[in-house]
Structure 1
Amino acid sequence: MDFSLGDEERQIRDTIRTFVEREVMPLEDEVLRNERAGLPGLEPGVLRELQEKAKRAGFWGINTPEEYGGIALGAVMSAILAMEVGRTFVPFSFGGSADNILYGADEEQKKIYLLPTIAGERRSCFAITEPGAGSDARNIRTRATRSGADWVINGEKTFITGGNEADFCMVFAVTDREKGADGGITCFLVDRDMGWKSSPIPTMGQWGPAALSFQDVRVPAANVLGEVGRGFDLAMRWIGQGRFMIPARAVGAAERLLGMAIDYANIRESMGHKIADYQAIQWQIADSQVEIEATKWLTLYAAWRVSRGLDPRHASSIAKLHGATTANNVVDRVLQIHGGMGYTKELPIERWYRELRLLRIFEGTDEIQRRTIARNLLKGHVRLGGIGD
């Protein structure tokens, strides 16, 4: 096994690290001021300019196939770059990408939805979660019924990331109740001007999800993504393919926070000593480093499986579970090390604290990840002791 990066890979990582430090991190104070005034952290124009700067540096469409203008770095490098971007809470992401299931669109759909999304001219959202169907995606109730050459959609979606900003959504609806998830759910590409509405959901952090409402929304049959009845397969492909990116960003955040704790411990004095001299502080720092390193390699293993075309779901669940708990453990320790100052809004730690709590909930709760991992073992879908299987 060779855990080193090649020269080109190291250069890419270092370039992104420099970009994040020079172009993105300096915006953190502005983001905090805006958010605490009830405004968006970054204006869309500022985010777009950041993406354009990254594009001029050669970073556009990190995971987008070259035939669509991307650089297709692959899953492992994408995870490494996500770790770098995760070092800041500025809501930055590289431009030039689209949801992986949009590549399954037909040629006409690609012209209308995929290509404009890659170009940054359109924004999408993935709408499967409902008030009564969060972790249990098979239990969705939104219906789509035939009406001549069209489909008519009725239902509600909730906690939809990007739902307030999107101009079209990939919405999953039941088209055959008797067939259930395996053959009875279909994905539709639905423009906002077809009639669906969104409203923001206030949260304790800066994640701004939306509630979506569909009331007799008429959608042409040509807007079915993939095949009628095969929507659940698309949904699982969307969820499974990118789940390892969540712990990747958690690694970056946890490393940034741990660095803050180390710096503070080396300057803060208590009872005649720097607090770095106290074992209670040393153990918190050591435990954090161990957990971060474990998450890092679990995440890269899951990404490696994606890159090799192997089933990544079990490995991604392990990485996601460990990454979410690690990030929350680390930010809690870092706040504790900073004492009362960590609890104030003079420092950004409380902001990180609220943001990272979300990791244990969205894209599959801790409990769902544990259920998945245990079920795979109990049913023999994975075996103990394998390496690279």
Structure 2
Amino acid sequence: MDFTLTEEQEMLQKTVRQFVQNELLPLEQEVMRNEREGRPGYTDDQIQQLQLKAKEMGFWGINTPEEYGGVNLGPFMTTLINIELGKTFIPFTFGGEADNILYNCTEEQKKKYLYPVISGEKTACFALTEPGAGSDAKRIKMSAVKEGSEYVLNGEKIFITRAHKAHFTMVFAVTDKETGCNGGVTCFLVDREMGWRSEPIQTMDDWVVSSVVFENVRVPEENILGELGKGFELAMKWITMGRVKISAWSIGIAERLLNMAMEQAKSRVTFGHPISEYQAIQWMIADSAVELEAAKLLTLHAAQLAEKGKDGKRHYASIAKLYSTNMVHQVVDRALQIHGGMGVTKELPIERWYRTVRKYRVFEGTDEILRRTIAFNLLSEKVKLGEFY
């Protein structure tokens, strides 16, 4: 495994880093001030304008295949970019992208769903989780009953990101109760106009999620994404890359926080000495640095496996997410401790990140389900210790 970057990769990484520093970090104080005064911190229009500015620099469709107008940088380079984007709490993503499973659209579906998402005309949401089926996604109960050339969908999804503004959803429903998840779950492309509704759920940070309710929503058979009964495979493909992305964000946040902690430690004086001279502080910094580097290697390994289509990519994505999200949870706690009273104020973004990273250990696979997955892969010998992937 060689993670040495090529000249082109280094250039791309530095360009994104400069974009974050020049365009995104300066917005943070304004966003925090707006939120303290009860106003929206940022608007979708602001994010779109930033995406257009990035487009002028060539950053558009960074992980979109060339045939769809993207540059297709691949999972490894995309992970490096997500690490840089993680260094700010401004929720920025480069435009010109679509969820990876939308490339399974038919040619007619691409015109209606894929192309509009890539161009920014439409927004999609991924709807798998249900009130009784979160970590145990195989227990989803939303039904899709065929009636003529249509399927009638009934059920509820929960904690769905972007559902409040999505034009359509990629929703997973049971089409064959006897077969179950291994052939009885199908993914459907369902326009909001077909009748589903979203209801917002308040969370501990600015993460916007909703419940999505289907009551006798009729969906044409031609709106099946992929193959009938193959929906669970699409869901796992989506979730695997989601876990790598969260790992990358965790690393970016931890790097920013560790830098803030070191600056504070060197400038804060108590009892006549900078607190950086005290061993208690030094150990917090050292432990954070070691854990951060370990998380980075695990995450880049998972991204490299995904890029090469290697066996074990889901296993190592699970390992990366489990370790990285727990790592950043520790780092933000130490950074807050080093900042003392200022760490809990809304003058700094630390308390905000404290709330944000806590949710990372819950969605896209809880700590517990990731441990279960890792243990199952090892005990069943789907992944063997000592072998390189």
* Pairwise TM-score range, normalised by the shorter structure: over 0.9
What corresponds to 1:330 in structure 2? 331
C-alpha distance in structure 2 between counterparts of 1:56 and 1:317, whole Å = 35
* 8 Å CA contact retained: 1:41, 1:91: no
2:387 counterpart letter in structure 1 = G
C-alpha distance in structure 2 between counterparts of 1:108 and 1:31, whole Å = 41
C-alpha distance in structure 2 between counterparts of 1:57 and 1:220, whole Å = 41
Deviations 1:322-364 (A, max 9, x none): 0100010000000001111111222211011011111100100
What corresponds to 2:155 in structure 1? 155
C-alpha distance in structure 1 between counterparts of 2:354 and 2:304, whole Å = 30
C-alpha distance in structure 1 between counterparts of 2:37 and 2:109, whole Å = 40
Deviations 1:263-297 (A, max 9, x none): 00001011111000000000000000000000001
What corresponds to 1:377 in structure 2? 378
| 2:343 is aligned with 1:342 | yes
Q: CA deviation at 1:242?
A: 3.4
Q: CA deviation at 1:206?
A: 1.3
Matches within 5 A, 1:117-132: 117-132=117-132
**Cα RMSD for the two superposed structures:** 1.1
Q: CA deviation at 1:33?
A: 3.0
Q: CA deviation at 1:40?
A: 4.1
Summarize the Cα distance change of 1:185–1:35 in structure 2 as closer, same or farther, 3 Å threshold: farther
What corresponds to 2:42 in structure 1? 42
* 8 Å CA contact retained: 2:3, 2:300: no
Matches within 5 A, 1:200-239: 200-239=200-239
TM-score by length of 1: 0.98
| 2:318 is aligned with 1:317 | yes
| 2:112 is aligned with 1:112 | yes
Look up the SS of the partner of 2:27 in the other structure.
helix
Q: CA deviation at 1:233?
A: 1.2
Q: CA deviation at 1:367?
A: 0.6
Q: CA deviation at 1:76?
A: 0.8
Q: CA deviation at 1:37?
A: 4.7
Deviations 1:103-160 (A, max 9, x none): 0010000000000100010000000100000001110111111122111111100000
C-alpha distance in structure 2 between counterparts of 1:259 and 1:288, whole Å = 11
C-alpha distance in structure 2 between counterparts of 1:154 and 1:337, whole Å = 51
C-alpha distance in structure 2 between counterparts of 1:238 and 1:10, whole Å = 27
Matches within 5 A, 1:11-160: 11-160=11-160
Q: CA deviation at 1:3?
A: 3.1
Look up the SS of the partner of 1:266 in the other structure.
helix
Identity of aligned residues (%): 59
* 8 Å CA contact retained: 2:122, 2:166: yes
What corresponds to 1:293 in structure 2? 293
Look up the SS of the partner of 1:4 in the other structure.
coil
Q: CA deviation at 1:307?
A: 1.1
Q: CA deviation at 1:38?
A: 5.0
Greater than 6 Å deviation, 4+ residue runs: none
Summarize the Cα distance change of 1:157–1:38 in structure 2 as closer, same or farther, 3 Å threshold: farther
C-alpha distance in structure 1 between counterparts of 2:24 and 2:299, whole Å = 24
Give ranges in structure 1 of 5+ residues lacking alignment: none
C-alpha distance in structure 1 between counterparts of 2:38 and 2:213, whole Å = 25
